[in-house]
Structure 1
Amino acid sequence: MGQTIDILIVDDNQEFCQLLAEFFEVNEKFNVVEILHDGEQVLEFLKNNENPDVLILDLIMPHLDGIGVLEELNSQDLIGEMKVIALTAMGHDKIMKTVIDLGVHYYIMKPFDLDKLQQRIKQLMEKNTGVSENIHFQDPQLEIENGNYIPYITQIIQELGVPAHIKGYRYVRQAVKMVIKDMDLLGAVTKELYPRVADEFDSTPSRVERAIRHAIDVAWQRGNQKALKKYFKNNINENVKPTNSQFIARIADKIVVDLKVS
């Protein structure tokens, strides 16, 4: 697959759209053609422009929701070869069936792993097969029960404001995943945790350490202050950035506690 994949992002959450766009734009195989924030804009755009390869469509939006958009696109025969990915925070079977009937190729629940979304888009474009073969329903709670904490970790990292395009984003996510499975790693961050993360990404322990520190710096300077205060209240009050191990430990601890409660 040599050609660029054109993507249209539609979601009323502007920060989320920016996050997605930054994530895709670091990969030359993807091209974000436009970012829109309500259903009516989508219809206007698709009537006046050539269809993108992929439409990423949030189902909950002002003016005209995602289902309304899909109904209009169907009635006007505007979907064509375009692959449609529906995003939602609600995992109702009825909604899932409705959007699938309306031509959605991939139905994914928030929060989700950006790498998995990118992988799924590539699969959709490579297979180029019928809708029924491409349906996938992701249940975050089920993922957690099966030991895959990545969607939950991703949600927290995104909430804190770590940009998806920097290396530290993936390193932090992997480190938290490893710590959840083995809390003893927090006592051997330099000797064990960094080398293990480095092995996963064909990097070095020192690069992992620096990249995670950079991710924390960026979040601290430009991230979501409300979220930072929620997770790192003591650090905010004392105006002291958390260390790498404190940052990783806090996210891991939050997930472990939440899982025990649920």
Structure 2
Amino acid sequence: MSNTISILIVDDNKELCEILYESINNTGDMRVLATVGDGKAAMDLIRELQPDVVLLDIIMPRLDGLGVLESITSMQGIKRPSIIVITSVGAESVVIRAMELGADYYIMKPFEIGMLITRIRQIYSEREAYDSYLARLSDYRESDSVHTASSGPIRPDTNNAARIVTELVNCIGVTPNLAGYIYLREAVLYGMEQPERLENISGNIYTLLAQKYNTKVRNVDRAIRCALLSAQKKTKNADSLNEDMKETFTLNNGRQPNNSQIINFLVKKASKRLMDARYRQFG
């Protein structure tokens, strides 16, 4: 990792802040910009310092962690930081609400410092990979537009598959701010490229993702599940669900489908859309 990861610690536990400050600064690839103990001051520092990652407690004076997440959601004009919630609050309603508001990961106290540092690197790497993907996609769309205007349609390639999968994943409510977004998106792409891997998603696809992002298979599975639960929560009370979301929730006799079922569904859906696009292109 070539860049130093800048971090803001937001927690009213001064002793914990001191431990995190020393441990993170000793990594060599991370730097703590500041520590702060209340949400109002945290928002000022987020705007001023624009950290890559914010470590955020939930229970704090003046403005709690959920309030900070809400404020970050409405920020304009600056790059949104990645958010790792570190808290002793384990209520499911709070976890779900934090994920809905854009938390990238949720860690319960007490935790191992080494595990936290690994998560910071993982989430930063995912964010960099996604930003790089968006840049490539933007360049591709620009070149696509120019090429189409000058010499007619161009041949579909892997960029088309990536675009289709990205649109589908977003359609079912799994957005880039969720920790499992990159895992789910790449799992579907792996399944499209090598359908035989779908026979054992945990062994064949999660293992690849765990190696790529220097994490464990169970963490990949858990991040995808958390992202899907957040997506379900965001859409289940809507007046009407989009058709892709409706289909995913009727896969398993009306019960919540598991990760493998949803990945298989998305692979099938994306592959059909890609074939349809090719048919329209050359048919």
What is the TM-score of this pair, normalised by structure 2? 0.45
